[in-house]
Amino acid sequence: MNLRARLPGPVPVLLALLALSAASPASDWRSGLEDWRGQRATALAAATGWLNLVGLHWLDGRPLRVGGGAGADLVIDGLPAEFGTLARGADGDWTLAPAEGVVVEADGVESRDRVRLVSDRAATATRPQTRLRHGPVRMALIERGERTGLRVWHAQAAARAGHAGLDWYPPDPDWRLVARWQAHPPGRTLDIATVIDTIEPMANPGALVFEHDGRSHRIEALREEGAEQLFLIFADRTSGRATYGAGRYLYTAPPDAEGRVELDFNRAYNPPCAYTPFATCPLPPPENRLDLAITAGERTYRKAAE
């Protein structure tokens, strides 16, 4: 495999852009972009969206009394004073045993019995992550590195109440580019640091090379487990100024048969840690700190009071 495939010259790139334009008229592109941005805003404010995330509690393996009262080991506003006991069994699985008289909803089913919890990492297509609910509170287990945490959402979260909408650069077709795919050897990974001081190796199937204003740029592409899309984590000259300081995210389709990838920076968006301190965001690797100002996509998020 040739790992040093060169970027096509200006004429092939122009032809590729014309082909994309013919397949997707400007009006359709703009309409699709606005629809996508609206869906993103709706997802952020959903019951388990990032704006309603109010807690991330790391568990150390000890049984914990969970509840809304001061006597609980893990105090969560919105729960009964005595809600239940969270414990890890000999098999490593966590369970929640509701307190006497407490009904907990697990994946839409009400129960007074012990509930076995499936984390995000342990989830499969037939055994999804367990979602708990009681009143305005929702909870789920996550795994990051060697740690397990209890993620908590609240329907009346302050961040949700103070949400003033998202701020985007105007749609700009000049930031809808065609990149050239450069494949890496199968099985390659890239170590990605996170905001919780962990290192997560992620699949790194290849890199994208693109041109803007006469200069060539390269960005390493990641692939999440079970996904077809490419995941880009990048920072640029706008980061910490007009856009979020810890970088932005962008998903793209995989390369086509000609090794081309449409790279639409108008869909670049802020990571979850822009909205809540309880996220576990991966950060841009050094290779993806780009020497250009990408004036497209989502800008810095500001709360209503700011």
Query: What CA–CA distance (Å, rounded) separates 241 from 208?
Result: 25
Whether pLDDT at 16 is above 50: no
Tell me how far the alpha carbon of residue 122 is from its chain's centroid: 18
**What is the largest distance, in Å, between two alpha-carbon atoms of the chain?**
72
Strands 64-67 and 74-75 come out as: parallel
Q: How many CB atoms lie within 10 A of CB 120?
A: 15
257-283 burial, b if ≥16 CB within 10 A, otherwise e? Answer: eeebbbbbbbbbbbbbbbbbebbbbbe
Q: What is the pLDDT of residue 4?
A: 35
Q: Are 265 and 290 in contact (CB under 8 A)?
A: no
Using 50, 70 and 90 to split pLDDT, how confident is the model at 304?
Answer: low
Q: Are 66 and 72 in contact (CB under 8 A)?
A: yes
Name residues whose C-beta falls within 8 Å of residue 174's C-beta, 6 or more positions apart in sequence.
none
Fold of 50-161: Tumour Suppressor Smad4 (2.60.200)
* Domain residue ranges of the chain, discontinuous segments joined by +: 10-45+164-288, 50-161
Average pLDDT over residues 123-145: 95
Q: What is the pLDDT of residue 11?
A: 43
Report pLDDT digits (tens) over 190-220.
Answer: 999 999 999 999 999 999 999 999 999 999 9
Whether pLDDT at 39 is above 70: yes
Average pLDDT over residues 37-57: 95
H/E element holding 219?
A: strand 215-223
| DSSP 3-state of 152 | strand
Using 50, 70 and 90 to split pLDDT, how confident is the model at 6?
Answer: very low
**Alpha helices (H) in the chain, listed in sequence order:** 10-23, 26-44, 158-161
End-to-end CA distance of the chain: 52
Which residues pair with residue 64 across a beta bridge?
86
Report pLDDT digits (tens) over 141-156.
Answer: 999 988 999 999 999 9
Q: Are 107 and 130 in contact (CB under 8 A)?
A: yes
Whether pLDDT at 10 is above 70: no
What residue has token string 């009006």? Answer: 27
Angle value at C-alpha 134, between 128 and 139, nearest 5 degrees: 45
Cα distances (Å, whole numbers) of residue 116 to 15, 97, 137, 180, 273: 56, 9, 18, 46, 29
Whether pLDDT at 19 is above 60: no
* 88-97, 134-143, 185-194: least confidently modelled range: 88-97
Whether pLDDT at 290 is above 70: yes
Query: What CA–CA distance (Å, rounded) separates 226 from 122?
Result: 13
Report pLDDT digits (tens) over 230-279.
Answer: 999 999 999 999 999 999 999 999 999 999 999 999 999 999 999 999 99
Q: Are 228 and 245 in contact (CB under 8 A)?
A: no
Environment class of residue 201 by beta-carbon count within 10 Å: exposed (0-12), middle (13-18) or buried (19+)?
A: exposed
Tokens read off for 141? 């287990």
Using 50, 70 and 90 to split pLDDT, how confident is the model at 3?
Answer: very low
Q: What is the pLDDT of residue 12?
A: 44
What predicted TM-score, i.e. pTM, was given to this entire model? 0.86
Query: What CA–CA distance (Å, rounded) separates 265 from 282?
Result: 19
What residue has token string 């090794």? Answer: 259
Half-sphere exposure of 54 (CA within 13 A, CB side): 20
